[in-house]
Amino acid sequence: MNDTPAPIFRVAVVGGGLSGLSAAHRLVELSKTMESRLDLTLFEAASRTGGMIATQQIGNYLVELGADSFITNKPAGVALCQRLGMENELIPTIDKWRKSLVLKDGKPVEVPEGFMLLSPAKVWPILKSPIFSWGGKLRMGWERFLPARKSSDTSDESLASFVKRRFGQELLERLVQPLVGGIYTSDPEKLSLRATLPRFLDQEQQYGSLIKASRSQAKKQSKAENSESGARYGLFTAPKNGIQSILDRLREKIETSATIRSDCPIKSVQQAEQGWSVIIGGGETEQFDAVILALPTHRAAELLAGVSPELAGDLSSIEYASSAIVVSGHNLSDIKHPLDAFGLVIPEIEKRNIIAVSFSSRKFPGRAPEGKVILRTFVGGAMHPEMMELADDEMKETVRKELAAMLGVSGEPDFTEVVRYQNGMPQYHVGHLDRVASIESRVADLPGLELAGNAYRGVGIPDSIASGEAAAERVLN
């Protein structure tokens, strides 16, 4: 009988946001099949884990202070919920309000049915829409006859360049910029299409036209939805008790086999003779075989400056934008607009002070009491950095005026919360994938080091989960 104890494999995860928690959870899952014994510590500088995700009960309102849902056509989010035993807690969006609005000349107008983020799948809704001039509609229709970019041209292209090339300026300004801007809070003239929405470049090559591609895929989707194997949740879902319930469950699972140290900022990370040294803010040093940095790239760059200046330089080259969400609860009777949609996006050409408004309790049931509604108003981003200089009261007043003008909101809200995310959204500028490839190449030369987060290959919840889990798997491999 062999009484030799199993060797210990020590791993540090630095960062307790969604990517860090996903990495730690995946390590715990995989440790059950390891020959060595996992000794895992997760470090979080703040007093709570969760990062930019937080769900709060305010009176009888269930309020999301960060993301309020996640997309289901990327599998990592739903798959994690299934492994956490939360599959039956996921709820679909409310069919009744499943449409979007865009501001046109100060008034909310319905986004044409079948519009797929960059291109229309149906002609008649576009022809009827008051969003576009007849000249703009004709220019969009001409897209069917434009040649595709040469397949040999693999250079990156900005969102603005692509849309203007295929559909013209008006579609970019009136619809694509606000829709995509609401996701990435970015300048479309700088946003890399290959890094964010590569399927549209691929569709151009495969079909020669995005209109042809959209119509073809709409037919396939309709058939899938009518079959027994159709999507269970629709395109977006969330747990009935809010997004934070996923992180709470992750933390519960991690704490059974690992240590979570909150209020524990890390000063630096250094290579050691055997593995890595993690220097904690108070001066304490701990030794690990591997380290996963699940941090914003500018913070990871600070920790790695003494290890690889070149890697730190690449990480620092990824820019970030700051934004805020002003969340408020209202009586429906105080709002003139019927709020018969999931939300409203605001084009830059409208010259307003907000980016978008999500009608949060119109998306999912159980968020607001009967006769009430939650509005989540987005402020700042790459196009409006000056808004982040406002004090909370000034920002609330600005949002109040904008909501009154656009939606006819009056009366005193039941609550108003301002949530700021300083340098919270990585900007996927043209050339982003080349920067990421350089980062990954340099990390490959540093055994035992991995990076995870929303700054590399996707900003959404499923992307962040997938990034953390992949980093965990690489560490153990």
pLDDT for the residue 224: 47
168 within domain boundaries: yes
Residue 203 domain boundaries: 116-221
| Domain co-membership, 300 together with 281 | yes
Half-sphere exposure of residue 306: CA atoms within 13 angstroms, side-chain side = 11
d(CA 180, CA 182): 5
Q: Are residues 442 and 411 in the same domain?
A: no
Domain boundary among 221, 256, 280: 221
DSSP 330-389: EEGGGBSS---SSEEE--GGG--S-SEEEEHHHHSTTSS-TTEEEEEEEEESTT-GGGGG
Q: Do 289 and 275 contact (CB within 8 A), yes or no?
A: yes
The bridge status of strand 119-120 relative to strand 115-116 is antiparallel
Does one domain contain both 437 and 308? yes
Residues 209, 150 share a domain:
yes
217 and 121 co-located in one domain: yes
The answer to whether residue 76 is domain-embedded is no
Which of helix, strand or coil describes residue 52? coil
* pLDDT score for 220: 62
In a domain, 361, yes or no: yes
Cβ(67)–Cβ(52) below 8 Å: yes
Q: Is position 468 within any domain?
A: yes
What is the DSSP code string of 415-453? EEEEEEEEEEEE--BTTHHHHHHHHHHHHHTSTTEEE-S
Do residues 326 and 421 share a domain? yes
Q: What is the CATH number of the domain that holds 386?
A: 3.90.660.20
Residues 306 and 433 in one domain: yes
For the domain that residue 131 is a member of, what is the CATH number?
Answer: 1.10.3110.10
Question: Does 62 reside within a domain?
Answer: no
Judge whether 274 lies within some domain. Answer: yes
- The amino acid that residue 198 corresponds to is P
Supply the pTM of this predicted model. 0.93
423-471 confidence digits (pLDDT tens): 999 999 999 999 999 999 999 999 999 999 999 999 999 999 999 999 9
CATH code for position 265: 3.50.50.60
pLDDT digits (tens, 9 = 90+) for 285-299: 999 999 999 999 999
Q: Are residues 336 and 307 in the same domain?
A: no
Residue 346 and residue 279 share a domain: no
Longest dimension (CA), the chain: 84
pLDDT below 50 — which residues of the chain? 1, 224-231
If asked whether residues 361 and 279 sit together in one domain, one would say no
Residue 211 forms part of a structural domain: yes
CA neighbor of 426 nearest in space, from 327, 315, 348 = 315
How many domains is the chain partitioned into structurally? 3
